[in-house]
Structure 1
Amino acid sequence: MSSGCEKAVGICPIVFFDFFIKEMFEKRLKSLQKREK
């Protein structure tokens, strides 16, 4: 898998970054929902 990422260096970081943002967004959303309740 690492070798595939090295070949597509332009794509892998973008996919990882998009996944990271989604994770942070979901965590923030859940924390906000907990505060409201």
Structure 2
Amino acid sequence: MYSIHCFLVLKVIIVAKIEFKMRNGLKKRIFFIFE
């Protein structure tokens, strides 16, 4: 039970990091387009 909880927490952290990187990438692309 504990290991499953840890796995879910890690999964959420990994997904959040990926989304953060994608959002930063989109922001950089948008700034590049407007420049």
The answer, yes or no, to whether TM exceeds 0.5 is yes
Q: Which runs of 5+ in 1 are unaligned?
A: 1-6
- Count of residue pairs brought into register by the alignment: 28
Q: Which has the higher contact order (CA 8 A, sep 6+)?
A: 1
Could you list the runs of 4 or more consecutive aligned residues of structure 1 that deviate by over 3 angstroms after TM superposition? none
For the aligned residue pairs, the C-alpha RMSD in angstroms reads 0.7
TM-score normalised by the chain length of structure 2: 0.72
Percent sequence identity is 11
TM-score normalised by the chain length of structure 1: 0.69
Q: Which runs of 5+ in 2 are unaligned?
A: 1-5
Give the CA deviation at 1:30. 0.1
